[in-house]
Amino acid sequence: MRHFYHIKIYGIVQGVGFRPAVARAFSTLRGSVKNCGSYVDICVSGDAFTDTFDQISSRFHVPERSEIVDIEKNEITEEEFEKRLSADEPEKGEEGKRFFIAKSPMHKPADEPVFIPPDLAICDDCARELYDKTNRRYLHPFINCTQCGPRLTIIDSLPYDRPRTSMKKFPMCPSCEKEYTDIHDRRYDAQPVCCNDCGPSVYFIENGKTVSRDSDAITQARQALINGKIIAVKGIGGFHLYCDATNDAAVTELRNRKGRPAKPFAVMAHDLQASETICEVKPEAVGLLTGHRKPIVLLPKTDALPESVAPGNPSLGVMLPYAPLQLLLFSYPDGLDEKMPQILIATSANRSGGVICRTEEEVEKTLGQVCDGILSHDREILTRADDSVVDFFEGKPYMIRRSRGYAPLPVTVKGGMRGEVLAFGGELKNTFCIGKGNLMYPSSYIGDLSDLKSDRALQETVERFTLMLDSHPKVVVCDKHPRYRSRALALKYAEEHQGTKLIEVQHHYAHVLSVMAENHFYGETIGVAYDGTGYGDDGTIWGGEFFLCDVNGYQRKSHISPFIFSGGDVASREGFRVALSMLFNKYENENDIYDIIKRLDLCETKYVRPLKAMHDMGINSVTSTSCGRLFDAVSAVLGICRKQSFEGQASMGLQFAAEKIHENVLSCDVTGTDELFYRIVEERLNGRSAEELAYFFHEGLAQITVNEAVKIRDESGCGTVALSGGCFQNTLLLGLTKSGLEKYGFKVLTAHEIPPNDGGLSLGQCMKGSVCV
């Protein structure tokens, strides 16, 4: 008998050529396809009695730029099929076809989910047209189609139509409008569509004044880069600072001006071939580098670039041009191509760790003394979206920063999640997350909340997202830390919206919940959170935690060995202070401490007595179980990094040193992290190399983690472990811990598409909030 199906495909299915792809695939069948806001609606019937749904769907290849979140499929009666088909009105040019593209309904179905499309990197077709002299979009800096171009960053409100985007200021010319309304054209319904006659324009600014436009502006920017200058360039979701990555003097000058002595810079290579000259491009990385998202990808570097690009770092953050203007910077018919560098520094235009600039005024105010000029344009960026950053773990992408190209794609959760929730995230690497029923929408990356500018950026982005998602949160979630700016903003939001419930969620519990949400796991788990610092329930600083937990709550079952954390924020940057504090716990004789400090060259002796007094008297001191600070202390003892100029520098250095060793040469017979630390001190004093001891630390910490998990399983019967927190960005530690747990039969949950660091915190908060609605 013949089969009749009604199918709903949810996700990013608008503006990506989804309907034409379905129509082409099903052209020999009978039925229709139409857009219904958050989903594509398909009615289809097989010609043969043997045509089952699986056989029918095998004909269809999902467009690369689409993102499918869910599929509903139902077999219907022939009567219902005919009724639905007769109600569908064909689009212009589709009349008389057996399978046709139908007009979309005038109103979005009630209570359907919302999907905001992320920004898409320039596609191969547009990249070819960009340099085709016969094409009317030849050298057009804003060329795009349904397969590429800005999305999230230009949307003012939904539904996603041109009048609700920043492209509303640019009326389409007749030629663009013809393409826009032709259902068989590649630019059909492409909201940002434009050309040289009707699109935005570029211009170059020096000393606050526009000095050139259009082609002259691009040439002036290229000449500035050739001359070793530093320029700001407006991208898709914000500005970058560019300079010649092959010019050590230019890179060093950028470091000096930006006050960034050691933190690695990301680079942009002209193409894949250029990237292969500066790093080892793994096969699994090619798809990310050349795909429709084009994040920054962390890859092993060669010695082709100056050491100043990524000092002391064996890896390099590399991306390829994802906007047409970026391609034009590398290659333009102005006679400068032979001189133009093929590798550029492309770092976010911000103060270190802060919010990316999205306007010329912000660049001039924040970085006016940093850049020599600004290449800008008049298409407004409405929502900031910094570059995403991806590492690899077990051959698969491992998210470090989730933003452009990925946000705000939702995470689907199950298990009784309900209502509408707004979670404000943490203080560093801030993101927020909006929950609507079983969909959680993590925002694009905001940055570190350090000043009023970052506060405003968070507030304006929250406001825009709630508008786009038509969200009216009844629960607001924040971190427990009393001094977090994100908490203050959550309190303010709750006060301004009457009837809103405020919930505080412990920092490390939220980390564990984030990994559980991504892995669709909602039962009991042993949560291991290794992080920098987080406010504990007892008022101390947590960060090396073992929980027995589920979505309803948690028990703190264990933690790493506590130590006295003296000096506040300064100690977070100077690992030798933490190391000293731990030495004070073991060695009572002051002469012994002075001897150890001298032999390790740990710090100046002038620090000893003041820090000892603070430690003993509890002045500006707090008990801590921070795994991040333990990394800092070990890094200082081994002489790898005693003072940090950026967050994570000491722990990164410790990982890089350990990765030079392929196996442990010491027996890991330690039972706690304090014993592990003191063993490292002793071995270092006896002449053991820093690299060997760095590996010993990683393996020892992994073994301690496994032992603690086994103890908790013996007591509880729980056989699942979730690993989260910023320390698990360290893929060496993650791999050793995961493999150790699996040898003992544990099911191990890790992050992949959501960062394990504080960038994923808001997702965990949001899931907890949805349970409490």
Calpha distance 389→398 (Å, rounded) = 9
Burial class (CB within 10 angstroms; exposed 0-12, middle 13-18, buried 19+) of 672: middle
Residues 6+ apart with CB under 8 A from 682: none
Report the run of H or E that residue 598 belongs to, with start and end: helix 590-600
Q: How many CA atoms lie within 13 A of 504 on its CB side?
A: 13
Quick one: DSSP state of residue 482? Answer: T
Structure-block tokens of residue 2? 């013949």
Position 665 scores a pLDDT of 75
Query: Around Cβ 622, how many Cβ atoms within 10 Å?
Result: 14
Distances (CA, A) of 600 to 83, 207, 272, 642: 82, 50, 45, 11
Q: How far is CA 147 from CA 15, 18, 119, 143, 383, in A?
A: 8, 10, 10, 11, 20
The pLDDT score that the predictor gives to residue 51 is 59
Residue 327 and residue 25: Cα distance in Å, rounded? Answer: 33
DSSP codes of every residue in 336-391:
-TTTS-SEEEEEESSSTTSPPP-SHHHHHHHHTTT-SEEEEESSPP-S--PPPEEE
Q: What is the pLDDT of residue 52?
A: 62
90's CB contacts (< 8 A; 6+ apart) are 32, 97, 100, 101, 102, 103
Rounded Cα distance between 594 and 600, Å, is 10
Contact residues for 107 (Cβ-Cβ < 8 A; gap 6+): none
SS3 labels along 206-240 = ECCEEEEEHHHHHHHHHHHHHCCCCEEEECCCCEE
**The model's pTM:** 0.93
Neighbouring CB atoms inside 10 A of 249's CB total: 12
Q: Shortest CA distance to 202 belongs to which of 293, 327, 340? A: 327
**In the chain, which stretches have pLDDT less than 50?**
49
Q: What is the helix (H) or strand (E) element at residue 439, kind and residue range? A: strand 439-442
**Residue 49's pLDDT is what?**
46
**What are the tokens at 490?**
């959550």
Which residue, among 637, 757, 758, 649, has the nearest Cα to 697 in the 3D structure? 637
Q: Quick one: pLDDT at residue 642? A: 94
CA pair distance 506, 765, nearest whole angstrom: 9
| One-letter amino acid of 70 | D
Phi, psi of 92 (to 5 degrees): -60, 130
Buried b (16+ CB within 10 A) or exposed e, 323-360: bbbbbbbbbbeeeeeeebbbbbbbbbbbbbbbbbbbeb
d(CA 757, CA 533): 11
Q: What is the DSSP string of 537-591?
A: TTSSEEEEEEEEEETTEEEEEEESPPEEEESTHHHHH-HHHHHHHHHHHH---HH
Spatial separation of the C-alpha atoms in residues 129 and 365, rounded to whole Å: 37
